[in-house]
Structure 1
Amino acid sequence: MTPPLPGTGNLFTLDPEVAHLNHGSYGAVPVPVQRVQARLRAEQERDPDGFFLDLPDRIARARAEVASALGGDPGKLALLTNVTEGVAVALDTVPLGPGDEVLVTDHGYGVVTRAAERRAAETGATVRCVRISPHAPDEEAVRDRLLDAVTPRTRVAVLDLITSPTARAIATPELLADLAARGVVTVVDAAHAPGMLPVDLGGAAGGADFWVGNLHKWAFAPRAAAVLAVTAAWRPKVRPLMLSWEHDRGFPARVEWRGTCDYTPWLAAPAGFALLEKLGTDRVRRHNEALVGHGRRQLVERAGLRPLAECAGTSMRALRLPPGVAESEHAAKALMVAVRRRLGARIAVRPWIGGGVLRISAQVYNRPEEYVRLADGLTHLITR
């Protein structure tokens, strides 16, 4: 069993009647960070003119603190709302034309793939979706599958660092280097990296041309906060999704500023990293990995689910549901609703032909017995 970490008992305001086993989707904001954001919002309402007048400089200072936590240069990074926005910025920046191909996988986040499809339709390019078996044994097998799909027309590859539905590694340093050698521009969806995995953006953008990670999942930042890292060659060319008064200042200001939006998640993001450091970043990671491993074992042993390949050091695990269960979007959502109503738990389920994929997460607020209850109750739900 994995005992609770000292000092984490009252950190969150989550409903105690629910087992929140899906931290990987939306995160949960700790109380100290909620308080920082509340103070910022109160300050804004006391003097909106003054607050917005000073905002560009305050955003720059917050970005510098975030960059320090991620091992990067503040000039190479931009703050934005989420990974979906960052990928859209990257796709809008890279020139595409008829005959070009954008490479994605069937493990990618759905709306990111749709963004690639929209950009391709606008430019005459095509999207090539590489199908990877959920049971591919290791990163090497995934790498070989993707490299076999590269053609002379492949212009961009949009790949997950850790996939959302299946919680496995794809955009490894070795794969990114191979794609760069073939002249392929790489856009990495690193939604789950900050806070959960060691991140070093000191050199290139995590080995990619564009690297974007959420801060509101595992780095304890308020929603919505994310960071986009861009290599030097692309920085002057970055095209924001809308123009602003900061546009002529170049990257990163031209990406960050969007008028009268709520910037308090960005300003409060350093408080999330500070809390993680106070708790002990490595200690939190080890705790969460051990706890999610416990959860995975319960679902295998008690519910008979088939585990998918796991990524060491992560706080998420994915398992295959039986054939006929959650194979459509409607059925996957229905199962999540049933788990919430009947078992009092939140999980993530993604449709997959041959049996949907169930993903669990672990965070310091979770307890071992929550996974036992899920596994025992799930057995009845999926065999009815």
Structure 2
Amino acid sequence: MNLAKRVKTLSPSSTLAITAKAKELKQQGHDVIGLGAGEPDFNTPQYILDAATEAMNEGKTKYTPSGGVPELKKAIAKKFAEDNQLHYTADQIVVTTGAKHALYTLFQVLLDEGEEVIVPTPYWVSYPEQVKLAGGTPIFVTAREENQFKLTPQELEAAITKKTKAVVINSPSNPTGMMYSKEELQALGEVCLKHDVLIVSDEIYEKLIYTGDEHVSIAQLSNALYQQTVIINGVSKSHAMTGWRIGYAAGPKEIIKAMTNLASHSTSNPTSVAQYAALAAYEQGGELSEMKKVFAERLELLYDLLLDIPGVTCIKPKGAFYLFPNVKEAATKCGFSSVDDFVAALLEEEKVAVVPGSGFGSNDNIRLSYATSTEALQEAAKRIKDFVIKHQA
């Protein structure tokens, strides 16, 4: 049977692939350390679990409005007002089956065949694939490592054409952990306003910042940018709720209405019980302060350990829970023709699973998640160093 053309061009998720390979090796009895996971290694807090149980016992297990239950929309609006000084009404918010589905739905309602979305490199693996699924064309612009993997206004403007519909900004970033400053966002925003380019602001890691820097949403900076931006967020990272699949988008009413209409014909609605769990996350508590403290400690540990490995350099991230070191020199000195080959051999020989940067559009780097135990991070760094020294000998 011939499959649709739109799925034949898709690349599988490199992060999910490496995680699956690590699990397979573990099931075979190997002592595998997986640093590929894009989710907190903390369980969902008990008060959220209790709220889900209560919702089930109260019979809140039926269909909900396609765009989310009103109570959750109200809580999301309150979160925006308190955390970001942004004011959204219920018809400017749509609750989705995870932030990933918010992005997917947005591109579906936004793009016509051949229209372009600027995607800075390195990028989260699903951005370009979702653009392609919507019939659009991802336009990759390299955010240079010497600029902390951040796009400049000049680079953005040079990539804009008559077909440009949107640009994706992810801060803090997956995979690099970098953040844009207020001034940097303002400069990018002015370019978008000049050329009438929609800003897709992925802020899923906004609560995971370890440097004392304040998260800034580009929509905060002016009324014009507020009207030109769709914010993507959710509870997955901030509240250790990845499996609950609750995300949301906020932005112009016409876009949100179209997303809600599309959802009514795809998912019907986000899972009812998960919505009430997310409601408790926002109403009864905040982000996981202990989790954030532990992640900050792990960042310091793993960053120092990586710098002790020959041929490895790394920009210190400010947020998320990833490090994105450049290992090109190490891979070359070890005799590998590519970082992908280096990563494959590392998993085969030392049973350490990391994600090759090629999956993020950056061939010289690897992504390591520190959402795992301190002991595992120390052992993984030791194995990587031993691997490099062995192959360079």
Q: Under a length normalisation based on structure 1, what TM-score does the superposition of the two structures give? A: 0.70
1:65, distance to aligned residue in structure 2 (A): 2.3
Structure 2: how far apart are the matches of 1:274 and 1:173?
Answer: 31
Note the 1:52-67 alignment, pairs <5 A: 52=62, 59-67=69-77
Ranges in structure 2 where 5+ consecutive residues have no aligned partner:
1-30, 82-86
2:89 is the counterpart of 1:78: no
Native 8 Å contact 1:107 1:163 kept in 2: no
SS in 1 for 2:264: coil
Note the 1:217-366 alignment, pairs <5 A: 217-223=237-243, 224-232=245-253, 234-238=255-259, 240-243=261-264, 258=268, 262-273=271-282, 277=286, 281=289, 285=292, 288-302=295-309, 304-308=311-315, 310-321=316-327, 322-324=330-332, 327=338, 332=343, 335=346, 342=351, 347-351=354-358, 355-362=364-371, 366=373
Residue type of the partner of 1:117?
K
Native 8 Å contact 1:194 1:213 kept in 2: no
Structure 1: how far apart are the matches of 2:132 and 2:294?
Answer: 39
1:237, distance to aligned residue in structure 2 (A): 4.1
Q: Relative to 1, partners in 2 of residues 1:136 and 1:276: Cα closer, same or farther, differing over 3 Å? A: farther
Native 8 Å contact 1:27 1:217 kept in 2: no
Q: Relative to 1, partners in 2 of residues 1:239 and 1:42: Cα closer, same or farther, differing over 3 Å? A: closer
Q: Relative to 1, partners in 2 of residues 1:361 and 1:63: Cα closer, same or farther, differing over 3 Å? A: farther
2:116 is the counterpart of 1:110: no
2:147 is the counterpart of 1:137: yes
1:184, distance to aligned residue in structure 2 (A): 0.6
Native 8 Å contact 2:356 2:363 kept in 1: no
2:172 aligned to which of 147, 162, 179: 162
1:35-76 CA distances to partner (integer Å, 9 max, x unpaired)?
3366157537xx5xx631677898221332233234353513
1:266, distance to aligned residue in structure 2 (A): 2.3
Structure 1: how far apart are the matches of 2:158 and 2:108?
Answer: 26
The match for 1:251 is none
1:43 aligned to which of 57, 76, 81: 57
Structure 2: how far apart are the matches of 1:57 and 1:116?
Answer: 22
1:65-94 CA distances to partner (integer Å, 9 max, x unpaired)?
233234353513222122321122212222
1:306, distance to aligned residue in structure 2 (A): 0.9
Aligned residues: 336
1:155-175 CA distances to partner (integer Å, 9 max, x unpaired)?
222332333233334693432
The match for 1:379 is 385
Q: More deviation in 265-274 or 292-301?
A: 265-274
Q: Relative to 1, partners in 2 of residues 1:360 and 1:186: Cα closer, same or farther, differing over 3 Å? A: same
Structure 2: how far apart are the matches of 1:114 and 1:378?
Answer: 31
Residue type of the partner of 2:278?
A
Q: Percent identity?
A: 11
1:119, distance to aligned residue in structure 2 (A): 2.2
SS in 2 for 1:234: helix
Q: Relative to 1, partners in 2 of residues 1:148 and 1:221: Cα closer, same or farther, differing over 3 Å? A: same
1:329, distance to aligned residue in structure 2 (A): 6.0
2:43 is the counterpart of 1:29: yes
Residue type of the partner of 1:105?
P
Residue type of the partner of 1:176?
G
1:194, distance to aligned residue in structure 2 (A): 4.8
Note the 1:166-185 alignment, pairs <5 A: 166-169=176-179, 172-185=185-198
SS in 1 for 2:62: helix
Q: More deviation in 194-203 or 286-295?
A: 194-203
SS in 2 for 1:320: coil
1:120, distance to aligned residue in structure 2 (A): 3.0
Residue type of the partner of 1:156?
A
Q: Relative to 1, partners in 2 of residues 1:104 and 1:240: Cα closer, same or farther, differing over 3 Å? A: farther
Q: Relative to 1, partners in 2 of residues 1:20 and 1:263: Cα closer, same or farther, differing over 3 Å? A: farther
1:113, distance to aligned residue in structure 2 (A): 0.4
Ranges in structure 1 where 5+ consecutive residues have no aligned partner:
1-16, 245-254
Q: Relative to 1, partners in 2 of residues 1:299 and 1:148: Cα closer, same or farther, differing over 3 Å? A: same
Q: Relative to 1, partners in 2 of residues 1:370 and 1:189: Cα closer, same or farther, differing over 3 Å? A: same
Structure 2: how far apart are the matches of 1:169 and 1:268?
Answer: 29
1:211, distance to aligned residue in structure 2 (A): 1.7
The match for 2:28 is none
Structure 1: how far apart are the matches of 2:337 and 2:276?
Answer: 40
Q: More deviation in 269-278 or 217-226?
A: 269-278
1:300, distance to aligned residue in structure 2 (A): 0.8
Structure 2: how far apart are the matches of 1:57 and 1:181?
Answer: 32
Structure 2: how far apart are the matches of 1:338 and 1:207?
Answer: 52
1:298, distance to aligned residue in structure 2 (A): 1.0
Structure 2: how far apart are the matches of 1:111 and 1:34?
Answer: 28
Structure 2: how far apart are the matches of 1:213 and 1:238?
Answer: 15
SS in 2 for 1:155: strand
Residue type of the partner of 2:109?
T
